[in-house]
Amino acid sequence: MKITELKVHVLKSPLAEPFAFSQGWVTQRSATLVEVTTDTGLSGWGEAFAQGLEPPEIAAAVIEHALKPLVLGADPLDTEVLWHRMYHRTRDYGRKGSVVAGISAVDVALWDIAGRFHEVPIYKLLGGAFRTRVQPYATGFYRIEGQGEARRLAEEALRHFDAGFTLMKVKLGYGVDDDIACMREIAAALQGKPVRLMVDTNHAYGRAEALRLGRDLAQYDLRWYEEPVVPEDVAGYVELRRQLPMPIAGGENEHTLYGFREFLGAGAVDVAQPDIGSCGGLTAGRHVIALAQSHGVQVNPHVWGSAIAQAASLQFIAAVPVAHHSLFAQEPVLEYDRSSHPFRQHLITRPIQQVDGWVEIPAGPGLGVEVDRAVIREFSA
């Protein structure tokens, strides 16, 4: 079997109501998808994670001009060989960011082909499923005005609960005082309900502000405090982990085994969050699992892409071992973005849904999902 074509699909959809996270305003949803085809007729899909402010054309150009020539004619089942080929041949201008996101997309598509070839879900090829369903957590609480939205965010928390979510991640990073006011209002609205919160500032603060916020957040028994400082400040992660009582999480902006080697080796986090569309794909994710396991750090992937990214993350989560085995070990959870995203639910023929507080991991071959090409045509840029 040989790879005969890589086709890149850039999808875009303007948002009727833009929203903000701590780093800026999101005015559109976008995705960089790659479709890899073979001479046997088998094909696979992958996705490069387009960060909230990232033009999807960057990873698309990487795939088309740098990666495509490296894999055409190769055996798609050689996932490890092709990963290293793509990484080493782009090392001098890659190693991080959109170049590795492009590698991620191609890699996921190759695993999709491998699963379809062997007629098993990807998690079987990764070593089997530790779990066949996963508890989702609602990601949301974005701003539509900026500051002073505590009341609206508290109402949003109740909507997530009514929809069946008992885990929620609150987006913070809009000023420490405003963050504190919002958390107070959200906690009051949820009082007495069986809900566990986590927070994410998207690296909005320096160490002093992040520490001040974290000390106030200690009263809420958070599952984790995510991206408290910029990804380059590994020593800041270490300091906050030492001084704060809640688990510290991060890693969505880290890449490959090499980046996570430094991050985990420093003792930066309790929860490592590689994004499968950014860290180097499922091959790199597998490397990170082994490394994190050796450091006693739980892996819990970050997810913010389309249905392809969701499906790949679910296959990955199925194969993630718990870091600290016990009869009642804390299991990985699925980030379930509840913000507006037209080609998350509609891109595949059977959307990934939360039902009764759980998401089933697709058991079909490869990613276990089928792409609706009409949606590709509708949103192609």
Percent of residues in the chain assigned helix, strand, coil, to nearest 5: 40, 20, 40
In which order are the strands placed within the sheet that holds 43-48?
3-21, 24-38, 43-48
Residue for token pair 């992937």 = 301
Query: Which pair of structure tokens corresponds to residue 290?
Result: 């082994």
Q: State yes or no: is 302 an active-site residue.
A: yes
Q: Nearest to residue 130, comparing CAs of 250, 340, 351, 293? A: 293
Q: Give the C-alpha separation, 312 to 106, whole Å.
A: 12
User: How big is the chain by its Cα radius of gyration, in Å?
Assistant: 20
Q: Give the C-alpha separation, 379 to 381, whole Å.
A: 6
Taking the mean position of all CA atoms in its chain, how far away is CA 359? Answer: 16
CB 229 within 8 A of CB 209: no
Query: Which pair of structure tokens corresponds to residue 378?
Result: 């509708």
The single residue of 255, 287, 302, 341 carrying the catalytic annotation is 302
The CA angle 57-62-66, to the nearest 5 degrees, is 155
State the catalytic residues. Answer: 302
